[in-house]
C-alpha cells in the first residue's frame, strides 16, 4: 500500500477516533513532534500547503543520499513508537526501506490533515521570512466542530537532541514541528494569541522604534481534490500587544480603525474558521 492510503487507513482507525474524541472533551491533545526529514520520508514534501523550504531541500537531495536519509528517518520513527513493523502486504500498512510498517495515529493524523485538508490557515509576518504556525482542517466539509491539527515550528530543545540526531546539520530537513489536535475554539484562541503578539520589526537597525510594526497575516486556503490550493479569505492584523487593528488596505492608518481586544479578535477568528469549515 502506498503511504497516502496507509495514512488514510491509520487516520480512520479506532486509535485515531479516540484521539479525536479526547480532543473534543479536553480542548487539545498533544501529538508527537516531527522534523522535516521525517515528514518528507512519509510524503510530506508533496503536501501543497506545507512549508515549501522542506520540499525544496528534499528535492535537492541526491537520490542515493535521499534513500539513506529515509532509512535513517524510518529508524527514528520506529524507535519512537510511531511506526510498527508488520508482516508484508498487510492492509493499512506502508513499505519503507524494504520493510512494512503500520502508522501510529499520533503520526497519521498530522499527515492526513496536511495532505488532505478541507482548508488550512497559513500565518505569516509581512516582509519577514519567519517560520510561523499553520492550521489544517481534515477533509470533512461541513463538520465545523471536528478537531483541527495545528503545526507549530519549534527550536530543537537540548533535552531532546538524542531523539533527533544530526537534525542541526540538515537545514530545513532538520526543522522541528510540534503538533496539537485542538477544537476550533482552542484554535481561534491560539491564533488570537499569536496575532496579539507584536512581531519583530523588519529591520531594527533602520528606522528603530519609529518604524511601523509589520502586520501578521492569516490566510485561509481551500484545497479541493485534484486542484491547486486557493486563498479564500485573508485577515491582516497589527498589534501593540494590548489592542489589535484589522487592516483593510494600504497605506494604512491604524488610528482610524477600530481597536480589538483579545476576546474580540478571538471572536473574529472563530467566525473566520466557522466560515471556512462550510
Whose CA is closest to 5, among 82, 131, 68, 90?
A: 90
Residues paired with residue 149 on neighbouring β-strands, in sequence order? 136, 181
- Indicate the helix (H) or strand (E) that contains 54: helix 52-59
Q: Where are the alpha helices (DSSP H) in 86-183?
A: 105-115
- Distance, CA of 105 to CA of 118 (rounded, Å): 19
Rounded to two decimals, what is the model's pTM?
0.89
CA atoms within 13 A on the CB side of 91: 2
Q: Kindly state the cell numbers that stand for 72.
A: 535513517
Number of residues that make up the chain: 278
Residues paired with residue 181 on neighbouring β-strands, in sequence order? 29, 149
Q: Kindly state the cell numbers that stand for 237.
A: 492584523
Q: How far is CA 94 from the centre of its chain?
A: 23
Please list the pLDDT of the chain residue by residue as tens digits (278 residues): 589 889 999 999 999 999 999 999 999 999 999 999 999 999 999 998 888 999 999 999 888 888 898 999 999 999 999 999 999 878 889 999 889 999 999 999 999 999 989 999 999 999 888 999 999 998 775 666 789 999 999 987 776 666 666 666 788 998 999 999 999 999 999 999 999 998 876 655 555 555 677 899 999 999 877 678 899 999 999 999 999 999 865 545 555 578 999 999 999 999 999 999 98
Grid cell 518528507 is found at 40
Amino acid at each position: 500500500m502506498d503511504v497516502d492510503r496507509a495514512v488514510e487507513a491509520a487516520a480512520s482507525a479506532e486509535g485515531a477516533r479516540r484521539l479525536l474524541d479526547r480532543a473534543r472533551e479536553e480542548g487539545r491533545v498533544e501529538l508527537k513532534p516531527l522534523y522535516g526529514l521525517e515528514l518528507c520520508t512519509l510524503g510530506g514534501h508533496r503536501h501543497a500547503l506545507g512549508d515549501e523550504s522542506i520540499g525544496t531541500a528534499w528535492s535537492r537531495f541526491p537520490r542515493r543520499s535521499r534513500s539513506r536519509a529515509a532509512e535513517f528517518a524510518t529508524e527514528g520513527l520506529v524507535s519512537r513508537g510511531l511506526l510498527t513493523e508488520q508482516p508484508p502486504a498487510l492492509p493499512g500498512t506502508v513499505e519503507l526501506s524494504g520493510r512494512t510498517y503500520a502508522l501510529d495515529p499520533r503520526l497519521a493524523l498530522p499527515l492526513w490533515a496536511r495532505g488532505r485538508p478541507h482548508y488550512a490557515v497559513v500565518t505569516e509576518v509581512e516582509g519577514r521570512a519567519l517560520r510561523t504556525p499553520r492550521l489544517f482542517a481534515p477533509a470533512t466539509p461541513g463538520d465545523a466542530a471536528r478537531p483541527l491539527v495545528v503545526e507549530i515550528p519549534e527550536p530543537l530543545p537540548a533535552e531532546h537532541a538524542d531523539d533527533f540526531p544530526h537534525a542541526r546539520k540538515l537545514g530545513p530537513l532538520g526543522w522541528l514541528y510540534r503538533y496539537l489536535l485542538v477544537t476550533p475554539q482552542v484554535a481561534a484562541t491560539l491564533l488570537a494569541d499569536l496575532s496579539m503578539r507584536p512581531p519583530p520589526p523588519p529591520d531594527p537597525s533602520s528606522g528603530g522604534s519609529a518604524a511601523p510594526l509589520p502586520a501578521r497575516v492569516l490566510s485561509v486556503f481551500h484545497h479541493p481534490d485534484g486542484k491547486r490550493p486557493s486563498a479564500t479569505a485573508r485577515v491582516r492584523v497589527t498589534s501593540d500587544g494590548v489592542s489589535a487593528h484589522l487592516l483593510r488596505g494600504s497605506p494604512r492608518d491604524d488610528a482610524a480603525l477600530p481597536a480589538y481586544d483579545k476576546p474580540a479578535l478571538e471572536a473574529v477568528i472563530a467566525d473566520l474558521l466557522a466560515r471556512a469549515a462550510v
